[in-house]
Chains A and B, each alone.
Chain A
Amino acid sequence: TQLLEQSPQFLSIQEGENLTVYCNSSSVFSSLQWYRQEPGEGPVLLVTVVTGGEVKKLKRLTFQFGDARKDSSLHITAAQPGDTGLYLCAGPRGAGNNRKLIWGLGTSLAVNP
């Protein structure tokens, strides 16, 4: 069974600090996606990583896909209160699956002013 485990589950930091959150699996994924969900809203896609070892940057957010395509990380530099939210990773269940995704439980991030 494919699973995605995210850590830490909760993170509370001060504005300006750096942080890294992780998404790990024992299975290989063809790609992994990161979403951010703000309170009272639906998840919003941030990025998709496809190639093993790939690094993508989105302003202060850096996403990396593991070389073996079993894990991914999200690093935030100089966190701001606007970064507060639930960060979810997700990956395809496999070929011919009607585009269903496997979801991690998320990392809940609070950035305090």
Chain B
Amino acid sequence: DAGITQSPRHKVTETGTPVTLRCHQTENHRYMYWYRQDPGHGLRLIHYSYGVKDTDKGEVSDGYSVSRSKTEDFLLTLESATSSQTSVYFCATSRQGVGTYEQYFGPGTRLTVT
């Protein structure tokens, strides 16, 4: 268990408003990821980070931005929320080093955009 928390756990927001989701980890893992999970689409990677201040886009990054100023925190921002961004968002981490890339997940944030 990587000790990953996400906040908030639930959020309802209106179209056009900015939203920031927070992921916090206590395991000093180098890699962090943001996914969204939707029925029929599975887990899709939004953005990821391979170190402090080092981030890159995933497969569904449009409308999202991220920041990582500390090893333990990875923020996901929806600049102007849209109804298509209603989803469950998961943060995950992975440790550095030779291995098989296992990922450890937070409990998720359920976001509803009305």
Residue ranges of A at the interface with B (Cβ–Cβ < 8 Å): 30-31, 33, 40-45, 48, 50, 88, 90, 92, 98-101, 103-106
Q: Is the beta-carbon distance between B42 and A100 smaller than 8 angstroms?
A: no
| Complex-state Cα separation, A92 to B31, whole angstroms | 14
Q: Given contacts A42-B108, A43-B105, A48-B102, is CB(A98)–CB(B50) below 8 Å?
A: yes
CB proximity of B103 to chain A, nearest CB, Å:
6
Give the interface SS of chain B, mostly helix, strand, loop or mixed. Answer: strand
Q: Footprint of A on B, CB under 8 Å?
A: 4, 31, 33, 40-43, 45, 48, 50, 56, 58, 90, 92, 94, 100-108
Q: Do residues A42 and B90 form an inter-chain contact, with CB atoms below 8 A?
A: yes
Q: Contacts A88-B43, A99-B94, A103-B42: A33 and B102 contacting too (C-beta < 8 A)?
A: yes
| A104 to B43 Cα, complex, angstroms | 8
* Whole-angstrom CA separation of A30 from B45 in the bound complex: 20
Interface residues of A: mostly helix, strand, loop or mixed?
loop
Tell whether, in the assembled complex, residue B105 and residue A104 are in contact, meaning their CB atoms are under 8 Å apart: no
Q: Residue among A42, A45, A92, A103 with the most chain B CB within 10 A? A: A42
Contacts A88-B43, A100-B58 known; 11 new A-B pairs at CB < 8 A: A31-B100, A40-B108, A42-B107, A44-B105, A88-B42, A90-B103, A98-B50, A101-B101, A103-B42, A104-B42, A105-B40
Residues from chain B with Cβ under 8 Å of A41 in the complex: 107-108
With a cutoff of 8 Å between Cβ atoms, the chain B residues found around residue A48 in the complex are 100, 102
